[in-house]
Amino acid sequence: MPTALDTIDVIDHAAGLLPGDALHGARRVRAKVVEASQASHDALLLQPVDGLSPADRLRVAAHVCTLAGAPSLEQHYADRLADAPDCAEPSSPALPAMLAFAAKLTTDPRLGDRAAIDALKRAGLGDAAIVALAQLVAFLSYQLRVVAGLKAMRAGQEGTR
């Protein structure tokens, strides 16, 4: 199981947590959260979506992490992109619109408006692809905050023990 005490997931990896660390164990008290966070990551990157290739999703994810100042997650998504089967294929003509949407959503959620959705539609994305893109970017805001909080907790423990 992905929550076994001797495994590390993407959040552990990005936060620098190893099996045996107190925080690695404390996360597993909420095993359902650990499992659903990793399963969300996997579904958001890999579920087939018309008009939204896995490589373009990884490009969006790396860009979001750059903007948000989350270098360990940025590295994770850049590494995944380098290994993606479709990484050598050209990106979608809609990628600039996707990156612009992702940037607004990441840096200030109150900038969201109907015009941003219409820009994605004009770039050729259907409703199902827009939902997938919004879920991915919104999830990243969650994931990078969990990682940042765990890193801050870890820093405090290293300072006192």
Cα end-to-end distance, the chain, whole Å: 31
Task: Using CB under 8 A, pick the residue from 23, 87, 99, 100 that binds other proteins.
Answer: 23
Ordered DSSP codes for 100-113: HHHHHHHH-GGG--
57 sits in which H/E element: helix 54-68
What Å distances lie between residue 105 and 18, 44, 68, 98, 139, CA to CA?
32, 16, 11, 11, 11
Closer to other proteins at the Cβ: 5 or 47? 47
Closer to other proteins at the Cβ: 70 or 84? 70
- Gap between the Cα atoms of 85 and 106, Å rounded: 27
Residue 11, CA atoms < 13 Å, CB-side half-sphere: 28
Task: Using CB under 8 A, pick the residue from 78, 103, 119, 146 that binds other proteins.
Answer: 146
- Gap between the Cα atoms of 147 and 116, Å rounded: 28
Tokens representing 115 are 């015009």
Q: Does 18 bind other proteins (CB under 8 A)?
A: no
Stretch that binds other proteins, among 1-9, 32-40, 76-84, 87-95 (CB under 8 A): 32-40
Q: Does 5 bind other proteins (CB under 8 A)?
A: no
Task: Using CB under 8 A, pick the residue from 36, 86, 90, 122 that binds other proteins.
Answer: 36
Q: Does 97 bind other proteins (CB under 8 A)?
A: no
Q: Does 89 bind other proteins (CB under 8 A)?
A: no
Q: Which residues bind other proteins (CB under 8 A)?
A: 22-23, 26-27, 29-30, 32-33, 35-37, 39-40, 43-44, 47, 49, 68-70, 105, 109-110, 112, 114, 116-117, 127-128, 130-132, 134-135, 137-139, 141-146, 148-153, 155-156, 159
